[in-house]
């Protein structure tokens, strides 16, 4: 069991951990209240590239949760940081929504649908055959293929939706080119998160609902890991992986309860 009172920093996935679509999950208000009262450093991560940190902050506010904007980090920001470092001043053809476009604009990436340096794909509400065809031919013309994240699906109210990896797959198949994905489990995103927390990996916990992104990214970064069963992975699907989380819980609301018991045990 992780001693949650000793840990200084918490990185927490959002989709399937804090909410499903517009539905807040049980125990989330208590978890956030515990983080804030115990003065923990925390960062909410999402592989979904469609929303900006401010939009995520406002989304939680509509659910009654007050979390400052600086506590959010997205795969769109990770993608922008990667391009700023490896393709400074590049041009891009982008299939994605406001979160991705804004992040790219902020680091000086300009849009180009004629001869871009890169094709960038994230979650998109305007994904269609025309944009897919454009992306394929630009890549065949020499553009590099970048994906915001490698999630195949994402949880929504009442089911799942195709994730970024599912949107990139037809482009890879048509071109024979493999995409580079910037979000979890890419360690670049985790290292940035640890720097923002001001924590060493041994002092931090990664909480998520997916074995293939959240748990593996935390484990490979040296953090303790918590798998919550409120999203994609289940106790049964967990058994198909060669690695394990440090702890498996029903939801994040269990953490303050466990932390209180641990504290009472120490005092006794």
Active site residues: 13, 15
Residue 147 neighbours by CB under 8 Å, 6+ apart: 120, 121, 122, 164, 165, 168, 179, 180, 181, 182, 183
Q: 3-state DSSP helix/strand/coil percent for the chain, to nearest 5?
A: 40, 20, 40
Distance CA 203, CA 217 (A): 15
Pairing of strands 153-156, 159-162: antiparallel
H/E stretch holding 249 reads: strand 247-249
């Amino acid at each position: 069991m992780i001693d949650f009172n000793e840990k200084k920093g918490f990185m927490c996935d959002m989709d399937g951990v804090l909410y499903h679509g517009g539905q807040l999950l049980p125990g989330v208000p208590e978890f956030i209240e515990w983080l804030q009262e115990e003065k923990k450093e925390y960062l909410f991560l999402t592989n979904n590239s469609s929303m900006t940190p401010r939009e995520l902050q406002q989304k939680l506010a509509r659910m009654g949760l007050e979390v400052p904007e600086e506590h959010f980090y997205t795969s769109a920001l990770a993608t922008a940081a990667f391009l700023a470092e490896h393709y400074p001043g590049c041009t891009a053809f982008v299939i994605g929504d406001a979160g991705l476009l804004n992040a790219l604009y902020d680091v000086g990436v300009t849009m180009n649908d004629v001869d871009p340096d890169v094709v960038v794909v994230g979650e998109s509400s305007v994904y269609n055959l025309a944009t897919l065809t454009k992306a394929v031919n630009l890549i065949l013309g020499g553009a590099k293929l970048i994906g915001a994240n490698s999630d195949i699906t994402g949880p929504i109210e009442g089911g799942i939706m195709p994730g970024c990896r599912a949107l990139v797959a037809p482009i890879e198949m048509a071109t024979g080119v493999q995409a580079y994905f910037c979000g979890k489990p890419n360690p670049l995103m985790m290292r940035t998160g640890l720097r923002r927390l001001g924590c060493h990996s041994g002092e931090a916990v990664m909480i998520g609902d997916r074995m293939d992104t959240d748990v593996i990214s935390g484990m490979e970064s040296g953090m303790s890991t918590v798998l919550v069963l409120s999203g994609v992975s289940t106790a049964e699907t967990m058994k198909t992986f060669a690695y394990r989380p440090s702890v498996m819980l029903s939801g994040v609301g269990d953490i303050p309860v466990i932390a209180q018991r641990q504290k009472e045990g120490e005092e006794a």
